[in-house]
Chains A and B, each alone.
Chain A
Amino acid sequence: MSSTVQTGTDVRPFLAEIPDEALDDLRRRIAATRWPSKELVGDRSQGVQLSTIQELARYWASDYDWRKAEAKLNALPQFKTEIDGLDIHFIHVKSRHEQALPLIMTHGWPGSVIELLEVVGPLTDPTAHGGDAEDAFHLVLPSLPGYGFSSEPTEVGWDFARVGSAWAELMQRLGYTRYVAQGGDLGAIVTDVMGRQAPEGLLGIHMTLLVTTLGAPTPPSGDTEEERAALDAIKTFTTSGFGYFLEQSTRPQTIGYALLDSPVALAAWLLDHDTDSYYKISHAFLEGEPAGNLIPDHILDNITLYWLTGTGASAARAYWELGRAQALAAGQAPPDVSLPVAFTTFPDEIFQAPRSWVEKSYPNATYFNKADRGGHFAAWEEPELFSAELRAAFRSLRDTKGRQS
């Protein structure tokens, strides 16, 4: 093997080490924020409310401690490896249970690996979290290209199909010959694509967002009350909650200037996702009443990671790539998913995907469940419940003879 090839497939340990200067600059910028006038309404209908973002900024500049997040990250085995010309950052936690099932989980936007940190323990060490040894996973948590500590693409073409291929390469490089994949939000798009690519070794997939219907050219059926409620929720989202999607999929560079230069601009942009998560986060800051693990420190860990890595624009560009890929596909249907598909509907997700839609999208749906609690950031908000879902979802795919890679 030549040295260049070795360099290319090298898996290098990684530690997050942000210089003090960057943290000082961040605090200085927050303190120097110039604010607009207050919104004219009493709800989120004009965007992120001034009182919410001002309280977030106050806490961010005065009480928040990035070093705790950094320590939490660095307590986990982190690596970088070059795939398809780009440095990919990932967390890799091998379970002490040898027969554990390898699982690659993909975060979304406006998230990062931060949203998945709370499930590392329950998934890799189930016996310490009320599960059985047979429920264990070996866990791989990559950062999407242009997100967190992964490199930013410098050329067009890093669409989600390319990400899916990169993840298959990553799992192969880690020596996993049988594995499963999971994702929500953009991670659900990656996971759906991997299901269609069906790389050797991929046994099945689990998702929490039904991406086949969100951007579908023809709306799914609305025959039952459940389906009509889901259609209404999709309509609400695409008419009032879709601004970030339109802007990022068309002009990521333009909005990027504000996101890179103003911490408060970035924080507001990342907070302005779905209605449910916005109000949960807003309550966490203003009333001190977080929903599950969506506590102020966790929210700021994620926002601060975007700030310190300067990835507001490159993360937004993933949507531009999504739009470009859709335009290039020109309405041509992608190949079906023949692998087993598991799906969990969380009650506060953008819409509650009915079983009928899931089965129509994925004829080989092997698992469907409606969870009791949790929203768009299910793993972040309800890590125990989410982990229990993954255990149940993938149970039928485990090799009962204990044969493992």
Chain B
Amino acid sequence: MTSSIETATEIRPFHVDIPDHDLDDLRRRVAATHWPEKETVDDESQGVPLAMIQELARYWATGYNWRRCEATLNTLPQFITEIDGLDIHFIHVRSQHEDALPLIVNHGWPGSIIEQLKIIDRLTDPTAYGGAAEDAFHLVVPSMPGYGFSGKPTSTGWGPERMGRAWAELMERLEYSRYVAQGGDWGAFVVDQMGLQAPEGLLAIHTNMPATVPADLDKASQAGERAPADLSGEERRAYEQLLRTYGQVEYARYMAARPQTLYGIADSPVGLAAWLLDHNDAEGQPAAAVVSALSRTASDTGELTRDEILDNITLYWLTNTGVSASRLYWEYKGGFFNAKGVSIPVAVSVFPGEQYQAPRSWTERAYPNLIYFNEVDKGGHFAAWEEPALFAAELRAAFGSLR
């Protein structure tokens, strides 16, 4: 093996070590924010309300402590390795249980690896969380290209297809010859692509944002047409939810068209925070789960807190990845929730707060090799972040049959 190849496939340990100067600069910028006037409505229909973002900014500049998040990240084994010309950052936690099932979990937008931190112990050390040793996973949590501590692509082409191939290469490099993959949001797009690519060793995928919509209904819902008369009750519910969602994704359409024009999310912390907060879930835009987290200062049970929201936003800020993350939308030219034709084994968990609740009927058609389907009673778009215990339990159950 030549040294250049060694360099290219090398796996280097990584520690987060943000200079004080960057944190000072962030606080200074937040404190110096030049604000717009208040929105002219009493609700969230014009975007993130002024009072909400001002309260968050106040805490960000005066109470929030990034070093706590950094310490948490640095207790985990983190690495960087170059794949397909790009540095990929990932967390890699091996379970103490040797026959644990290797699992790669993909975050989405406006998220990051921060979304997955609360499921790591639950998945890798199940006996400490009421599970059995046979439930254990070896866990790999990569940062998508252009996100967090991964490199930023300098040329076009890094869409979900290429990421899917990179994750297969990563798992091979980590010498996992049999593994499973999981994702929500963009992570769901990536695991669907992995399902289509069916790399050697990939046993199954689990998605919490399944792409199940039949082609005719996909077209009709995107065109804003009324629900056809022949839908079942839960299909009708899903269709109505899709209509709502398509009215809330102008942020996605914008990033798909003009990611570079968002200079403000590189230059203004508050501009970035507002942009990242204004993602929807079934209960609202900004997402109800995130809005309720903004007033939750602590949680013993894994509920999403204000600090976690800021950990994620601050990670985007400190890595200056607002724009590079947005480019993923530009890269992707495919459909959103349409069935993609994945034929390998697929497990699906349906969370009530997701963009739409995939009906079993559509799911069975979209994923003919469906090995698991479950509708849970709480949790939303950021399922792992909002309901880590439930989410971990879902993954154990979903992949149980493959061990």
A interface, CB within 8 angstroms of B: 25, 29, 33-41, 46-50, 53, 152-156, 240-244, 246-247, 249-262, 264-269, 272, 310, 312-314, 317, 320
Q: Which residues of B contact A47 (CB under 8 A)?
A: 257-262
Chain A interface SS verdict (over half): helix
Q: Does B264 contact A (CB under 8 A)?
A: yes
Cβ-defined contact, B50 with A243, below 8 A: no
CB contacts (< 8 Å) of A269 on chain B: these are 261, 264
Is B330 interfacial (CB-CB < 8 Å)? yes
A164 to chain B, nearest CB (A): 19
Q: CB-CB < 8 A to A312: which residues of B? A: 36
The answer to whether B266 and A260 touch across the interface, beta carbons within 8 angstroms, is no
Q: 22 A–B contact pairs at CB < 8 A?
A: A36-B260, A36-B320, A46-B259, A48-B258, A49-B260, A154-B37, A243-B254, A249-B250, A253-B39, A253-B47, A257-B270, A257-B275, A264-B264, A265-B264, A265-B267, A266-B264, A267-B263, A268-B262, A268-B263, A269-B261, A313-B37, A317-B46
Smallest Cβ-Cβ distance to B153: which chain A residue: A40
* A261–B33 CB distance below 8 A: yes
> Quick one: which of B34, B38, B275, B323 has the most chain A CB within 10 A?
B34
Q: Which residues of A contact B330 (CB under 8 A)?
A: 46
Give Cα A29–Cα B272 distance, bound, in whole angstroms.
16
B320 with A265: CB separation less than 8 A: no
Assembled-state Cα–Cα distance A46/B323 (Å): 10
Q: A152-B37, A259-B271 are in contact. List 5 more A-B contacts (CB 8 A).
A: A37-B154, A38-B154, A244-B258, A253-B39, A253-B50
Which listed residue (A156, A246, A251) contacts B40, Cβ 8 A?
Answer: A156
Interface string of B182-210 (1 = CB under 8 A from A): 00000000000000000000000000000
Q: B57's closest neighbor in chain A, by CB? A: A257
Q: Report the nearest B residue to A271, measured CB to CB.
A: B261
Contacts of B34 in A (CB 8 A): 25, 29, 260-261, 310
A154 touches B262 (CB 8 A): no
Write the nearest CB–CB distance from B58 to chain A, whole angstroms: 14
Q: Does B62 contact A (CB under 8 A)?
A: no
> In the bound complex, what is the Cα–Cα distance between A266 and B267 (angstroms)?
11
Q: Which residues of B contact A272 (CB under 8 A)?
A: 258, 261
Which residues 264-278 of B sit at the A interface, judged by CB distance below 8 A? 264-268, 270-275, 277-278
**In the assembled complex, which residues on chain B have CB atoms less than 8 Å from the CB atom of A314?**
36-37
CB <8 Å contact, A242 and B262 = no
A35 to B253, CA, bound (A): 22
- Cα of A265 to Cα of B265 in the assembled complex, Å: 8
Task: Give, as a whole number of angstroms, the nearest-CB distance from B42 to chain A.
Answer: 10
Which chain B residues have a beta carbon within 8 Å of chain A's beta carbons?
33-41, 46-50, 53, 152-156, 250-251, 253-254, 257-268, 270-275, 277-278, 320, 322-324, 327, 330
Which residues on the B side are within 8 Å of A267 (C-beta)?
Answer: 263
Cα–Cα distance between A314 and B46 once the two chains are bound (Å): 11
Q: Which of A47, A153, A240 has the most CB of B within 10 A?
A: A47
Roughly how many angstroms separate A231 CA and B40 CA in the complex, as a whole number? 36
A265 and B259 form a contact (CB under 8 A): no
Nearest-neighbour CB distance to chain A for B276, whole angstroms, equals 10
Given A37-B154, A246-B253, A254-B47 contact (CB < 8 Å): yes
Pick the contact of B267: A240, A241, A264, A313 (CB < 8 A).
Answer: A264
A259 and B261 contacting across the interface, CB-CB below 8 Å: no
Residues of B within 8 A of A242 (CB): 257
Contacts of A155 in B (CB 8 A): 40
A40 and B156 contacting across the interface, CB-CB below 8 Å: yes
Is the beta-carbon distance between A256 and B36 smaller than 8 angstroms? yes
Contacts of A256 in B (CB 8 A): 36, 47
Contact of B264 among A244, A258, A310 (CB under 8 A): A258
Query: Known interface pairs A47-B262, A261-B264. Does A243 touch B257 (Cβ–Cβ under 8 Å)?
Result: yes
A47–B329 CA distance with the chains assembled, in angstroms: 13
Contact B271 A258 (CB under 8 A): yes
Q: Known: A246-B250, A251-B278. Is A265-B271 also a contact (CB below 8 A)? A: yes
Asked if B263 contacts A36 (CB within 8 A), the reply is yes
Q: How far is the CB of B39 from chain A (nearest CB, A)?
A: 4
Cβ–Cβ < 8 Å partners of B265 in chain A: 36, 258, 265
The reply to whether B261 and A34 form a contact with Cβ atoms under 8 Å apart is no
**Min distance, Cβ A304 to any Cβ of chain B, angstroms:** 14
- Considering only CB atoms, which chain B residue lies closest to A248 in the complex? B250
Which of B39, B154, B278 has the most CB atoms of chain A within a 10 A radius of its CB?
Answer: B39
